Amino acid sequence: MGRDQRLPESADSWGEFHALIDMERDARENEGSALWRIAAGLLFATGLIFLAYALQGGRPWLFPCALAPLAAVGVMASRALEHAERAARRAAQLELLERAWQAHLERGLPPG
C-alpha cells in the first residue's frame, strides 16, 4: 500500500471507510504476485533440470547450479508465507474496525 494513501482507520464516514478498504485491497492485489509465481516456477524448473543433469552424467559441479535456484524458490516461498500472515492479520483488523463502524452506526454515532 502506498504511503500517500489514507488508511481506513482515518475514515470519517461509512462510505469513505469502504472506499478506503477497496483501495487498500486493490493496492494489495496489484503487487505483482503473478509475476513472482512465474519467476518461482521458472527457477524451480531450472533447478530440477540442473539436478537431473547432475544425477545423470556424474557431473558434481552441477549440484551447486541446481541448489541455487531451488534455494531462491525456498526464500520466495518463506516471504510469501510472511506476506500471507501479514495480510491475514490486516484483514482481521479491518473486520474488527468494520464491526465497530456498524455498532456505532446502529447507535447513530461515528466511531472514534
pTM for this model (two decimals): 0.68
Is residue 78 classed as helix, strand or coil in its secondary structure? helix
Which alpha helices (H) appear in 1-112, and where do they start and end? 14-29, 33-57, 62-107
Q: Is the pLDDT of residue 78 over 90?
A: yes
Pick from 47, 53, 49, 52: nearest CA to 67: 47
User: What is the reported pLDDT for 35?
Assistant: 83
pLDDT digits over 1-28, tens only?
455 677 777 777 778 887 888 888 777 7
User: What is the reported pLDDT for 74?
Assistant: 94
pLDDT digits over 26-76, tens only?
777 666 678 888 999 999 999 999 999 888 877 888 889 899 999 999 999
